[in-house]
């Protein structure tokens, strides 16, 4: 059905897959603390990059990010566009800028990973610009790989 509408009008939202409830929570919890990778993808835009978690940190293409201390080993790191920022640098390349009026979604290639970064409407980035991508979230969401 319509996830945006459910998030707007619902105090609690149930996410179902194959006729079974996967998670029933507030829209905020579903978005920031999804039960699994499928739910994370279902409720919002994200980038997924591989990482290696150990003792509350996950090493990935963005460096060492704070994560769930219970996670260990290979993981899929889930990054929401608003958890990333674009800074001056030369490590990544802008591939596409989608302008929405109120903001922009910038697609950036960092190594062999593509990341989506939410930027303000006044961004002047264009395809081919060289930039740096930084993690500005409190904690990176991750799930065991596989």
List the domains of the chain with CATH numbers.
Answer: 1-44 (no CATH), 81-135 (2.40.50.140)
Residue 13 has pLDDT above 90, yes or no: no
Strand partners, 99: 104
**Three-point CA angle 48, 51, 52, nearest 5°:** 155
Q: Which of 4-18, 27-41, 90-104 has the highest mean pLDDT?
A: 90-104
Q: What is the bridge-based pairing of β-strands 73-79 and 141-144? A: antiparallel
**pTM for this predicted structure:** 0.87
pLDDT classification of 12: cutoffs 50, 70, 90? confident
47-54 sheet: strands from edge to edge: 63-66, 57-60, 47-54, 73-79, 141-144
Residue 5's pLDDT is 53
């Amino acid at each position: 059905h319509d996830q945006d509408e459910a998030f707007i009008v619902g105090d609690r939202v149930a996410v179902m897959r194959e006729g079974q409830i996967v998670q029933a929570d507030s829209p905020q919890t579903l978005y920031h603390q999804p039960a699994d990778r499928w739910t994370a993808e279902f409720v919002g835009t994200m980038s997924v990059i591989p990482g290696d978690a150990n003792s509350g940190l996950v090493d990935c293409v963005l460096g060492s990010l704070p994560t769930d201390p219970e996670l260990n080993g290979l993981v899929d790191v889930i990054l929401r566009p608003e958890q990333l920022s674009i800074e001056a640098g030369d490590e990544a390349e802008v591939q596409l800028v989608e302008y929405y009026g109120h903001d922009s979604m910038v697609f950036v290639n960092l190594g062999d990973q593509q990341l989506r970064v939410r930027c303000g409407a006044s961004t002047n980035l264009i395809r081919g610009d060289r930039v740096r991508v930084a993690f500005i979230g409190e904690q990176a969401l991750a799930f065991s790989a596989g």
